[in-house]
Amino acid sequence: MNKFARILSHIFDGTFISIPVSFIVCLKVVDNIRSAISWAFICLLFSFLIPYFYIFFLLKRNTIIDFHVLNKKERIKPLIIISICHIVGYLILYTLGAPLFLKSIFAVSVVSTVILTIITYFWKISLHTSWITFIVITFNILFGRWMLLMVPLIPVIGWARVRIKEHTVNQVIFGVGISTITTFFIYHNYGLINLF
């Protein structure tokens, strides 16, 4: 079971899963395929490529001991860089007149990452469950209620993180809770969902 839990953790690592998610979202919200791919690459530049190479740089310098940055103290620098990348990415999307949904996704990413970075100074909150919660909510808005079938992924990934002793149950639950609140709140502010 530990091996299965580790495989799940690798598959649903936020850095890597952002690649297919970016293309799926852009192909859904942009009518022209060429434009959709262009927007996806811009999104990936700030959500994947720059953070990935920064973490790889830290790994090569032995500043961190593993690519998934399992140590709480080692997470601070990468999370700060990721926060900056999301902020810059949002500003570029806004300046270029990106589709509303793409701007809202980066807005969620900015707020969530900043909050998670602050919490990580004191506590190793689960980034995995925060990320998958964000994806599940996003896909339900984009593709409809049948995407509720994705909801079980949240407790399954939470279980995997606890199983391999990377997080406690509370860290997993708070990851889900914070992501749920920030995602719904920002999507509501962008007029994508009606909470009241």
The answer to whether residue 194 sits within a structural domain is no
The answer to whether residue 195 sits within a structural domain is no
Closest CA to 111 of 179, 188, 20, 29: 179
User: What is the value of pTM for the model shown?
Assistant: 0.92
Question: pLDDT per position in the chain (196 positions), as tens?
Answer: 878 888 888 888 877 788 899 999 999 999 899 999 999 999 999 998 998 888 888 888 877 776 666 677 778 888 999 999 999 999 999 999 999 999 999 999 999 999 999 999 899 999 999 999 999 999 999 999 899 999 999 999 999 999 998 899 999 999 999 999 999 999 999 999 876 6
Question: What per-residue confidence (pLDDT) applies to 58?
Answer: 84
User: In this structure, are residues 69 and 79 in contact, taking their beta carbons and an 8 Å threshold?
Assistant: no
C-alpha 134: how far from chain center: 7
Closest CA to 163 of 174, 155, 152: 155
For residue 70, report the phi and psi dihedrals to the nearest 5 degrees: -75, -25
Distance CA 12, CA 100 (A): 26
Residue 106 sits at the vertex; the CA angle it makes with 185 and 169, to the nearest 5 degrees, is 60
Distance CA 120, CA 2 (A): 25
Question: What per-residue confidence (pLDDT) applies to 67?
Answer: 61
The answer to whether residue 144 sits within a structural domain is yes
The answer to whether residue 38 sits within a structural domain is yes
The answer to whether residue 160 sits within a structural domain is yes
Q: Which residue has the tokens 């690592």?
A: 13
Scanning the chain, the segments in alpha helix (DSSP H) are: 2-11, 14-29, 33-44, 50-60, 76-96, 100-120, 127-143, 153-163, 169-189
End-to-end CA distance of the chain: 42
The answer to whether residue 102 sits within a structural domain is yes
Burial class (CB in 10 A: 0-12, 13-18, 19+), 118: middle
The answer to whether residue 174 sits within a structural domain is yes
The answer to whether residue 99 sits within a structural domain is yes
Number of domains in the chain: 1
- Domain extent for 21: 2-189
